[in-house]
Chains A and B, each alone.
Chain A
């Protein structure tokens, strides 16, 4: 299978981002600081592209945080000193806070780390002093942090989206999959309901698609164990895909690049290991919104997923021809 991409990733990034950040702070008073994170610059490039395209189409301005660094992901907080994860994320909060009052982190892992760091910093004078020592400046950590679901929820009402989507995705049944990191731990994330998250639903419904209850929506996919303990991830992720498949969903919608990696990139390994024949497309939340707005699957990077979304796209196409 050859993958052809109509829009080059670099072109989209160049067209949509505003590189001069010092100037942009005054140019875009309503803009958000944008923290892509490492995954979105490589394995989840299509997530980045789709977020930038959809936000641009909706008139939301994103300014990429200059010289951002890795949030520390899961290995840093497990470092014995306990503070490595906070310090790495604190540097990003500090830079982001220089330009805007609100930042967006589409990667659920980064979102989780940044909010954790903020929580820890707010609660410990000692930690703030340690951070200031490293940054050689008093740390700015009070910036508001949003994930993409929150961002779209804030900027777009279901009515607005529904009007622009014109029921484009009607007939599709999408499983909403939140995973762990966006909502847990509840007291720190303070987003949605940690036991029964529902925040994706209003906007998905506005696209015209159905999104019935998916009982595995907050079940863990196996997280970062993919590389060190592949067999564990394959088993954990298989259950999620299989349940979605049994329930007749057309695709699983996620907002986490790590979940995406485990469910999409490793789906073939799951099939080989367990003799299953799963073919469940895994889409990013932003890609679904993009499809609803009439953007092409290629532009949104859906062709770069390992599991083909052909059937789902055909359904959309058939419906368009009928109307």
Chain B
């Protein structure tokens, strides 16, 4: 087991408080019944199941949480939140932990998900709508795996499941302003 000494206890408590403030949830109310974990669809892919993430936050082990695969890989299906007997929106806690990790520059191990989000948002920023074919191409290029999902291409083409010309909305200026607002408007929430 690795021991992280990069943060003081006060700093760790501040990060937990930040996650609580953003999510509006109180991690201290979790009593570790494990119901979130028993209903979670994604545990097979995670390093820590959701109830352990909650416990680690209670104990101030924020480095482990922010660096975990769990917060990157959570499907956000919100089953855990539906089942929690304390009405904690666990998925929301995990999502906000991920945002804090992003903000602090923690890249995490799951680069594909980062690339996917980047490719997706670039795509929307450019034309206002998503062009699925272009999303796959730009994701594959970022990910250095040009032939990922290539087997789907003939299927998609044959069934006319794709636009050849990327869709574009008229008022792209407004979309541009939205992106400018969140990127240039300071870290307000």
Contacts and interface: CB of A to CB of B under 8 A. Distances in A.
Contacts of B103: 80
B82 interface: yes
Given A220-B41, A223-B75, A232-B42, 11 more contacts: A38-B132, A41-B167, A43-B161, A67-B170, A69-B169, A180-B76, A185-B82, A195-B82, A222-B75, A224-B116, A304-B159
B33 interface: no
Nearest to B78: A184
28 contacts: A5-B160, A38-B132, A42-B162, A42-B163, A67-B169, A75-B120, A81-B182, A81-B188, A83-B182, A84-B179, A88-B124, A91-B175, A133-B181, A134-B177, A184-B77, A194-B82, A220-B42, A220-B77, A223-B76, A224-B116, A225-B73, A225-B75, A227-B135, A227-B139, A228-B143, A229-B113, A230-B149, A236-B75
Interface of B: 22, 41-42, 44-45, 73, 75-79, 81-83, 89, 91-92, 95, 98-99, 102-103, 110, 112-113, 115-117, 120-121, 124, 128-133, 135-136, 139, 143, 148-149, 151-152, 155-156, 158-163, 167, 169-171, 174-175, 177-179, 181-183, 185, 187-189
A103 B167 CA distance: 22
A41 B82 contact: no
Given A76-B124, A134-B174, A81 B187 contact: yes
Contacts of A207: none
Given A180-B77, A235-B44, A41 B124 contact: no
B171 A75 contact: no
Interface string A25-62: 00000000000001101111100000000000000000
A268 B41 CA distance: 21
A271 to B, nearest CB: 12
Contact of B124 (A70, A230, A269): A70
A35 to B, nearest CB: 12
Contacts of B178: 84, 87-88, 91, 134
B170 to A, nearest CB: 5
Given A3-B158, A194-B82, A229-B112, A42 B75 contact: no
Q: Chain A binding site: helix, strand, loop or mixed by DSSP?
A: loop
Contacts of B189: 81-83
Given A91-B174, A134-B177, A72 B161 contact: no
